[in-house]
Structure formats: C-alpha cells, structure tokens
Amino acid sequence: MAEEKYPINIWINEERYQKLQEAGLADMCEEMLAGLKVLRVYANEEQKDKILKVFPTAKFDASTTKSIELLPREVKDKIFDKIVEKRSVDILDEFLADY
C-alpha cells in the first residue's frame, strides 16, 4: 500500500501570489474549490505527527478533508518562504528540522 500523504494547504493570498510571480513560480499553484489558488505541501505520517505536536493549534481534519489545517499564519508564511527559496514543495523535512 502506498504511504498515506497528508496535505498542508498554503492558500495563496495576494501577497503570496506576488512573491510567487516575482520568483517565476506562479505555475506551481493548483486551483481548488472554484478558484482558490493553493500550494499543497504533503506530510507523511511521521511529519504529520510532529507538526501536530509542535504546533498545538493545528488540527488534522480526519473526517472530511484529510488535511492538516489551522497552522498559524506565521508558520505558513515560513513554509511558504521555504518553498520559494527551494523552488519546490518538497521542503517539509528541512522546515521541521528547525523545530
């Protein structure tokens, strides 16, 4: 069985979209829910558990979306900046190494 992957949705507000455009990364966005731009960073089981432990406000929506939600805005900004820096969404290990 393939390993379960749990997305963190980084919703793209205007400020984030501008940064992506400046970095030439606007194409990285997916579109969801009738017009929302989003970057999806996927966590494995172990990363998910660490995130929920390190950021107590975070919630895993087990019943509906199977995604990790309610991370503080600042934390998501940091994840976002990392994505821009690395030009990839595969940054979670590196991001979590600081915690």
To other proteins, the closest distance from the beta carbon of 54 in angstroms equals: 17
* Interior angle at CA 87, CA 81 and CA 91, nearest 5: 65
CB of 48 to other proteins, least distance (A): 15
Nearer to other proteins, 45 or 61 (CB): 61
Task: Please give the Cα distance from 76 to 3 (Å, whole number).
Answer: 24
| Range 3-42, binding other proteins (CB under 8 A) | 9-13, 15, 32-36
Residue 69 near other proteins by CB under 8 A: yes
The CA distance from 37 to 96, in Å, is 24
Q: Is 57 in the site for other proteins (CB under 8 A)?
A: yes
> What is the C-alpha separation between 23 and 6, in angstroms, rounded?
26
**Helix 73-86 vs helix 14-22: crossing angle, to nearest 10:** 10
CB of 7 vs other proteins, minimal distance in Å: 11
Verify binding: residue 61, other proteins, rule CB under 8 A.
Answer: yes
